[in-house]
Chain A
Amino acid sequence: EPEVTQTPSHQVTQMGQEVILRCVPISNHLYFYWYRQILGQKVEFLVSFYNNEISEKSEIFDDQFSVERPDGSNFTLKIRSTKLEDSAMYFCASSETFGQGGYGYTFGSGTRLTVV
């Protein structure tokens, strides 16, 4: 069964450093998402991405965050200057079509980001 692959599985970084979280969506999927989950809390939407553009973003997704699809296979989330409160599990997801909502989602295994 096709999978969404995320790397690394765990990243530790110092406050103020830049991090890039990587995701390889399912190959025929066109819509990409990032969600985050602070430890013990609910999962929160960050951003959706289609056709090389952000289609929607949440209030959490401020100027410190950016996304791109640099090479047609990877989908990345960059945090420019990490803060302690960015420590969370970050999930990538992809879907084949728009309009199916969560019905079409496949979530990746997540990257645990720890900012120290």
Chain B
Amino acid sequence: ELKVEQNPLFLSMQEGKNYTIYCNYSTTSDRLYWYRQDPGKSLESLFVLLSNGAVKQEGRLMASLDTKARLSTLHITAAVHDLSATYFCAVDLSYNTDKLIFGTGTRLQVFP
């Protein structure tokens, strides 16, 4: 059974600081996704990583994928309050299925 784990589960950080969220998964997959969820809201797609070594950046967020290590990272640079949300990674098995297996989520709180 595919497992997707994130750490930390909860992250409280000061504005202006940097931090990395980690996403580990237990079986081979070439496709990994990062989503943002605000409280009570839907899932907003942030990044789609489709191959080993993929790196994508949008504003203060940068995501990378290492399929050999089965690890993706979401790096936050100079955090601002607007980044406060829950971040989920999700993996699909890339064969014969389009279902997503989501990670446990990381709740990020950025304070002044």
Contact of A112 among B40, B97, B101 (CB under 8 A): B40
Q: How far is the CA of A48 from the CA of B48 in the complex (A)?
A: 21
> Of A16-24, A74-82, A92-100, which binds chain B?
A92-100
Asked if B31 and A107 make an inter-chain contact with CB atoms under 8 angstroms apart, the answer reads: no
Contact of B101 among A41, A45, A91, A100 (CB under 8 A): A45
> What 1/0 flags go to B39-76 for Cβ under 8 Å of A?
01111010010100000000000000000000000000
Q: How far is the CA of A101 from the CA of B32 in the complex (A)?
A: 9
Asked if A31 and B98 make an inter-chain contact with CB atoms under 8 angstroms apart, the answer reads: yes
- Note all chain B residues with C-beta closer than 8 A to A100: 98
Q: Assess whether B99 is interfacial by the CB under 8 Å rule.
A: yes
Asked if B102 and A44 make an inter-chain contact with CB atoms under 8 angstroms apart, the answer reads: yes
Q: Assess whether B92 is interfacial by the CB under 8 Å rule.
A: yes
Given A42-B104, A101-B31, residue A91 in contact with residue B42 (CB < 8 A): yes
Asked if B102 and A43 make an inter-chain contact with CB atoms under 8 angstroms apart, the answer reads: yes
Q: Assess whether B21 is interfacial by the CB under 8 Å rule.
A: no
- Note all chain A residues with C-beta closer than 8 A to B48: 102-103
Given A44-B102, A45-B100, A48-B99, residue A102 in contact with residue B42 (CB < 8 A): no
Q: How far is the CB of A106 from chain B (nearest CB, A)?
A: 8
Asked if A105 and B105 make an inter-chain contact with CB atoms under 8 angstroms apart, the answer reads: no
> Which residue of chain A lies nearest to B44 when distances are taken between CB atoms in the complex?
A107
Residues of chain B having any CB pair with chain A under 8 Å: 31, 33, 40-43, 45, 48, 50, 88, 90, 92, 94, 97-105
Given contacts A43-B88, A43-B100, A45-B100, 13 further A-B pairs with CB under 8 A are A33-B98, A33-B99, A42-B88, A56-B97, A89-B40, A91-B42, A100-B98, A101-B94, A101-B100, A102-B92, A103-B48, A105-B45, A107-B42
